[in-house]
Amino acid sequence: MSSPRVGVLALQGDTREHLAALREAGVDAIPVRRRDELESVDGLVIPGGESTTMSHLLRDLDLLEPLRARLADGLPAYGACAGMILLASEILDAGAGGREAVPLCAIDMTVRRNAFGRQVDSFEGDLQFVGLDDPVHAVFIRAPWVERTGADVQVLAEAAGHTVAVRQGPMLATAFHPEMTGDCRIHRMFVDIVKGQV
């Protein structure tokens, strides 16, 4: 695959920043809001935002089951923060009252929402990241962490003793926001996954 098309789920969150990072990584990047756009992409980024709101919008726009089906068929996906939560097979503290975050079951992991605390507990730090030579500067905003990983899930980074980045086959997820730092290495890694190069 020479020049794949990678979508960014454009319901909420840092859509523009992810599109810019993907274009910097050398791919055709488009916002995805409709089923035909979802069907046209070779990979998908699910950005940060509010996972319960994103789940509600996926249902309202009739994208939830088509997205689950594409992921089950092997569509490569990268989830950042709320995107990590949605890619999980199990979500702890998922919400209530019809506003729950809905797992897409793309990565065999259990994720706890807002695990590092509220907005005021947001923080930044440098992390060692498997596959990258130099540390990644990570921005955590109301971030989740991974409490359990399945046997086929590779842990890529940890912060404060908790798993904050994983990969399973064509699926990649981080609890932090690389699109906010200008460092495109994780997006380039995802593009290489989409191309089948790593």
Query: How does pLDDT run across 13-23, given as a tens digit for each residue?
Result: 889 999 999 99
24 is in an annotated binding site: no
Give the residues across from 77 on adjacent strands.
44, 171
Task: Tell me the residue type at 191.
Answer: V
pLDDT tier, 90 (very low <50, low <70, confident <90, very high otherwise): very high
Q: Which long-range contacts (CB under 8 A, 24 or more apart) does 192-197 make?
A: 193/43, 193/76, 193/78, 193/167, 194/1, 194/4, 194/6, 194/27, 194/42, 194/43, 194/76, 194/170, 195/1, 195/4, 196/1
pLDDT at position 92 is 93
Query: How does pLDDT run across 117-158, given as a tens digit for each residue?
Result: 766 567 899 999 999 999 999 999 889 999 999 999 999 999
User: Which CATH homologous superfamily contains domain 5-195?
Assistant: Class I glutamine amidotransferase (GATase) domain (3.40.50.880)
pLDDT at position 118 is 67
Domain assignments of the chain as residue spans, ordered by start: 5-195
Residue 1 has pLDDT above 70, yes or no: no
Q: Which residue has the tokens 């200008």?
A: 182
Calculate what percentage of the chain has a pLDDT beyond 70. Answer: 94
Inter-residue contact 115 to 145 (CB < 8 Å): yes
pLDDT at position 127 is 96
DSSP assignment of 107-172 equals EEEEEETTTT-SGGG-EEEEE--TT-SSPEEEEESS--EEEEE-TTPEEEEEETTEEEEEEETTEE
188 is in an annotated binding site: no
pLDDT at position 184 is 95
Average pLDDT over residues 91-114: 87
Average pLDDT over residues 99-108: 93
pLDDT at position 133 is 95
48 is in an annotated binding site: no
Tokens of 69: 């089906």
pLDDT at position 97 is 61
Q: Are strands 107-112 and 123-127 parallel, antiparallel or unpaired?
A: unpaired
Average pLDDT over residues 169-196: 96
pTM (2 d.p.): 0.95
Inter-residue contact 24 to 49 (CB < 8 Å): no
**Annotated active-site positions, please?**
81, 177, 179
113 is in an annotated binding site: yes
Q: Give me the numbers of helices (H) and strands (E) for the chain, helices first please.
A: 6, 12
pLDDT at position 120 is 52
Residue 178 has pLDDT above 60, yes or no: yes
Neighbours of 26 (CB within 10 A): 14
Residue 96 has pLDDT above 90, yes or no: no
Average pLDDT over residues 100-126: 86
Calculate what percentage of the chain has a pLDDT beyond 90. Answer: 84
